Structure 1
Amino acid sequence: MATFAGQYNATIDDKGRVVLPSAFKKAMGEMQLDFVVVERNRRSKCLDIHTVDAWKKEVEKFRNKLNPETNPMHDKLLQLYFQNFVQIGVAANGRINIPNEFLEYASLKDKVTFIGMQTSIRLSAAATATGMEVSDADYLELLKLIDKKEE
């Protein structure tokens, strides 16, 4: 499975086309790169890009918690869940063409930022990514919060 890390800036054109950073294409290595799955990230108002294999594993984990055949709420939840995803073809040069409704959802225009998130790639407006920067001191404080939870 590919592991993604790092932050890369890019430009998206008015047709929603953007090229995946070469470091991320390299991380995918020999994986079949015909398609990626793009998700509307409801927590951060951005897009998450998954390899098909990683996405299938996440879907399987989610579906195992549900019984849509006998529970109407589970069926509705499953429908809502899948509405957040679209499978997109990847050109030979790593270019993807993101549908307009996904671009609008994440307010993606012109300058964008890719951020490796281990098993996925986050895509957000460059201004949003810049707004997420924290000082070293604040970052260390956040790490301390995690340590306290483990005690």
Structure 2
Amino acid sequence: MTAELKSADIQLIQRILPHRYPFLLVDKVVDIDGYNAARGIKNITMNEPHFQGHFPGTPIMPGVTIVEAMAQTAGVMLGVAFDVVDTNLLIYFMSIDKCKFRRKVIPGDVMEMQVTTLRGKPRGKIFKFNGVATVEGEVAAEAEFSAFVDWEPEA
């Protein structure tokens, strides 16, 4: 028997992650399977500030923000898995490897980020993840990334 998958709406996401507009890059996280895997969802809209300059007349979501959205998905997954809500959880990038961009992400797209834990243990400090961002089933970006998790940061 498998455990029931969990999800996080925007209110719960904001209770887990410290990110806020304009840098909160995930709208919902679903299919949270403990700290093993999760799927984030980001609705791409023209009113996001990076589209003013990237690129005028041809708005394309910057690759670094796609990778950041995958990382935020992983952060929410950890927050839900370990019930770390309202605790000032901080997660810092340590590395980004095997990063590839395959298609443009533009306003009107719905980007899904599938994140899987490659290494890490419950309440450990260092985790490694694989992330794949897709739009309509087509791979937009993929990367492996590691992060340092500060479970109890100073206030």
TM-based fold match above 0.5: no
More strand by share: 2
Larger radius of gyration between Structure 1 and Structure 2: 1
TM-score (norm 2): 0.29
TM-score (norm 1): 0.29
Q: Which has the higher helix share?
A: 1
Compare relative contact order (CA 8 Å, sep 6+) and give the higher one, 1 or 2.
Answer: 1
